[in-house]
């Protein structure tokens, strides 16, 4: 369903909720899209509402729980424990490393600098340094105070705070934004901020959910895993993300869909939990359920086949390069 189809179906789209403008395109007018709960970590019994912009079709959470980060990102959140990553995640990481190696190989110079936004304790920057010895400086920006000591011990600089507040005289050849842009309230501000931190040859590698996918449609009103509710605040498809990037002064150099097995797995487990066939609790979130790795393996294979056949799985990789000055 594209933007024009939505507009035809909704003849009078009013501003709904507490956010008066779309956080992606800043246009007024949104329609209710879905209601979801935190089925993964059970941080509350609250229902959360997602809305779809009638102009760009971005889907966003409204209201966004910006003042409850400590609650919605509990101590057992998967990103806080990278050493517990499953076999499926480790295989995925190796495939991602091939992508990183290709990007770095296209860069000139003997002194490359890399920034990882939301990089935790820097485990991914360890991979980058192992891939290319020309990487001489690595920087993490993250909100997790507990990760700072581990990142510094690994040899990475660390800024604890929002990337919008990060200041540095350095310019970076590669900026990683892996599963991060969907977690922020103003994606355009983040991209514009990062553009100022790039070298002329710099690349931003982004990985983010794809709303234009089979599982997003099937589980739209049944706690789709891509909502990662309530932690994913703005969700895109290829078209509206490309438009956002253009407004922020970027061109898409390379685009690719990639498997969304975690979203499939969470969606299926949520449906099984709704039927009372499995149990999920705050003490044992979905990522630690014994069925999770089994489902993830199966759906990873399914998505890889679908990708080869021209399908659009529920995650996408985007490589951005700076162009002219950002559009106003």
What pLDDT, in 10s, does the model give residues 54-65? 999 999 999 999
The predicted structure's pLDDT at residue 225: 98
Q: Dump pLDDT digits (tens) for 84-130.
A: 555 556 666 777 788 999 999 999 999 999 999 999 999 999 999 99
Q: Would you say residue 326 has pLDDT above 90?
A: no
Q: What percent of the chain has pLDDT over 90?
A: 79
Range in 16-20, 32-36, 116-120 the model is least confident about:
16-20
Q: Mean pLDDT over residues 6-10, rounded?
A: 33
Instruction: State how far the Cα of 221 lies from the Cα of 219, in Å rounded to an integer.
Output: 6
114 closest CA partner among 129, 93, 97: 129
Give the pLDDT band (50/70/90) at residue 8: very low
Q: Dump pLDDT digits (tens) for 275-313.
A: 999 998 988 899 899 999 999 999 999 999 999 999 999
Instruction: Give the CATH number of domain 67-322.
Output: 3.40.50.150
> For the packed helices 238-247 and 187-195, what is the interaxial angle rounded to 10 degrees?
50
Q: Dump pLDDT digits (tens) for 236-248.
A: 999 999 999 999 9
Q: What's the predicted TM-score (pTM) here?
A: 0.90
Helix (H) / strand (E) element for 241: namely: helix 238-247
The predicted structure's pLDDT at residue 89: 60
Characterize 167-203 residue by residue with b for buried, 16 or more Cβ atoms within 10 angstroms of its Cβ, and e for exposed. Answer: eeeeebbbbbbbbbbbbbbbbbebbbbbbebbbeebb
Could you state, in order of their start, the residue ranges of all structural domains in the chain? 67-322
Question: What are the residue ranges of helices labelled H in 261-323?
Answer: 261-274, 291-308
End-to-end CA distance of the chain: 28
């Amino acid at each position: 369903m594209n933007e024009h189809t939505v507009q035809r179906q909704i003849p009078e789209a009013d501003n709904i909720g507490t956010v008066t403008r779309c956080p992606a395109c800043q246009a007024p007018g949104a329609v209710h899209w879905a209601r979801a709960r935190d089925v993964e970590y059970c941080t509350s019994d609250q229902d959360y509402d997602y809305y779809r912009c009638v102009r760009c079709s971005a889907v966003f959470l409204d209201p966004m729980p910006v003042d409850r980060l400590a609650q919605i990102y509990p101590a057992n959140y998967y990103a806080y424990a990278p050493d517990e990553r499953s076999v499926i995640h480790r295989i995925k990481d190796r495939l991602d490393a091939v992508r990183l190696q290709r990007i770095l190989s296209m860069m000139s110079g003997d002194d490359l600098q890399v920034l990882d936004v939301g990089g935790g304790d820097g485990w991914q920057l360890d991979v980058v340094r192992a891939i290319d010895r020309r990487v001489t400086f690595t920087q993490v920006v993250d909100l997790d105070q507990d990760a700072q000591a581990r990142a510094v011990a690994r040899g990475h600089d660390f800024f604890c705070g929002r990337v919008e507040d990060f200041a540095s005289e350095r310019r970076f050849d590669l900026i990683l934004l892996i599963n991060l842009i969907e977690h922020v309230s103003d994606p355009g501000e983040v991209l514009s901020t990062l553009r100022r931190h790039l070298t002329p040859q710099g690349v931003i590698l982004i990985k983010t959910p794809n709303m234009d996918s089979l599982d997003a449609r099937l589980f739209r009103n049944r706690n789709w895993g891509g909502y990662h509710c309530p932690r994913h605040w703005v969700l895109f498809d290829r078209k509206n993300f490309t438009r956002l990037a253009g407004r922020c002064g970027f061109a898409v150099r390379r685009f690719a869909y990639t498997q969304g097995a975690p979203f499939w797995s969470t969606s299926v487990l949520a449906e099984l939990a709704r039927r009372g066939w499995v149990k999920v609790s705050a003490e044992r979130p979905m990522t630690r359920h014994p069925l999770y790795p089994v489902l993830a393996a199966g759906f990873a294979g399914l998505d890889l086949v679908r990708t080869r056949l021209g399908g659009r799985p529920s995650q996408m990789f985007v490589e951005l390069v700076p162009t002219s000055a950002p559009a106003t």
